[in-house]
Amino acid sequence: MVMTIFPLSFHLTFPGKLFKGSPVAAAVVVAPALYVFGDSLFDSGNNNVLPTFAKANYLPYGIDFKQGVTGRFTNARTVADFIAEHLGLPYPLPYYKSKRPESATLTGLNYASGSCGILPETGHKYGKCLNFRKQIDLFNSTKEKELKRLFNKEEDKLSEYLSKSIFIISIGNNDYINNYLETTPHEETKEDPQTFAQGLVDKLADQLQILYELGARKVLMFELGPIGCLPSITRKKDQSNESSQCVEKINEMIKDFNQRLGIMLQNLTSTLQPSNFILGHVHSLGYDAIQNPFKYGLKDTSNPCCETWKNGTSGCIPFKKPCEDRSSHYFWDAFHLTESVCSTIASRCFHDSSVCSPFIKYLVQL
């Protein structure tokens, strides 16, 4: 899928020595930086160095990516990568990337971590991961230990840089997949879905306010996709439903969370001024692509492209050859999207106000 980069421009004065010899020095970019937070949908390699089973640092992950295997949980680029391309920026390197050049910090970093979520307990059964609050703490460390030094402790210039940078977030999926939806011995004491969703949104609001206090002003938060359509969900015996391709009971839970999320982001934009907390409406887009694949150039919206364990409900089996026509598949493994679907989401978010309002290309001009 061809990605079009619009000729928008952004001018910000950095200390000249920072970009000496860097391709960013000669380029006019749309925004100074892209900072990425989230889970495995956005992780670009942070989990590679963490003691966790949630890793994607082996083939066939990255089979179609020009840099090869990096730790991305898909066959090539993620939504975050495509957004970086639209903004005229390099792909944000993972925070834990060894020997990061200074210019990489200035154009944005990626703090996302597979299997983690909003709640600190989410995902721990797989090992260590970076929950959202931990990711924010690492961004704070970046600001205090790297950015302040790079801006020669000129607070005004640093504040301007952060206020015009784009912050994108995709978090919360695992709080359902690896937490709430799991069967527990005390199932009867579990919170009702509405109470759980509101508690999750309230905790997220507190975390987003911290990000605002650290300088973020342009924040794009993606809502949760149709989790009830994931192969990891639909192929479980207790979730089977002959009348639907998806488990609609779960999708209804997710839509309730998304509605509360949208209201919360509107409230933050009103109370934390100046700021723009934008909701990326990807649930309906993803669901429509699953139900009407041919509209999106897809053929298979039910099966993982790569070979998986447990009847198609896991990650990719290492080094097994994936399906040939990867661009026509919706799911890469039992949890994650193919590059084709990531491309569609990013492109629509950049140009379509029904998906992201304001579109990212106008958000950078605000």
d(CA 362, CA 349): 11
- State what percent of residues in the chain have pLDDT above 90: 79
Element (H, E) at 106: helix 102-106
Give the strand order in the sheet containing 218-222. 93-94, 109-110, 34-38, 166-170, 218-222, 276-280
d(CA 83, CA 52): 28
To which residue do tokens 């069967």 refer? 183
pLDDT confidence band for 185 (50 / 70 / 90): low
Q: Taking Cα atoms as reference points, which of 178, 58, 59, 191 lies closest to residue 121?
A: 178
- Give pLDDT, residue 244: 76
Burial of 275 (0-12, 13-18, 19+ CB in 10 A): buried
- Give pLDDT, residue 242: 53
Mean of pLDDT values over 204-230: 98
CB 295 within 8 A of CB 288: yes
pLDDT tens, 268-306?
Answer: 999 999 999 999 999 999 999 999 999 999 999 999 999
pLDDT tens, 92-134?
Answer: 999 999 888 888 999 999 999 999 999 999 998 999 999 999 9
pLDDT tens, 7-28?
Answer: 233 344 444 334 333 333 334 4
Question: Do the strands 34-38 and 166-170 form a parallel or antiparallel pair, or are they unpaired?
Answer: parallel
SS3 84: helix
- Give pLDDT, residue 331: 98
Q: Which of residues 350 and 62 earns the better pLDDT score?
A: 62
- How many Cβ atoms sit within 10 Å of the Cβ of residue 322? 22
Mean of pLDDT values over 70-82: 98
pLDDT above 80 (res 4): no
CB 31 within 8 A of CB 165: yes
d(CA 196, CA 221): 19
pLDDT above 90 (res 45): yes
pLDDT tens, 127-177?
Answer: 999 999 999 999 999 999 999 999 999 999 999 999 999 999 999 999 999
SS3 16: helix
Query: What is the value of pTM for the model shown?
Result: 0.91
- Sequence letter at residue 136: I
pLDDT tens, 188-198?
Answer: 678 999 999 99
- Give pLDDT, residue 6: 29
Query: How many residues are recorded in the chain?
Result: 366
Element (H, E) at 93: strand 93-94
To which residue do tokens 């925004």 refer? 31
Domains annotated for the chain, with CATH where assigned, are: 16-227+247-299+337-363 (3.40.50.1110)
Alpha helices in 239-352 (DSSP H): 248-271, 283-291, 339-351
For the chain, the average pLDDT equals: 89
Catalytic residue positions, numbered: 40, 333, 336
Strand-pairing partners, residue 263, are none
Element (H, E) at 237: none
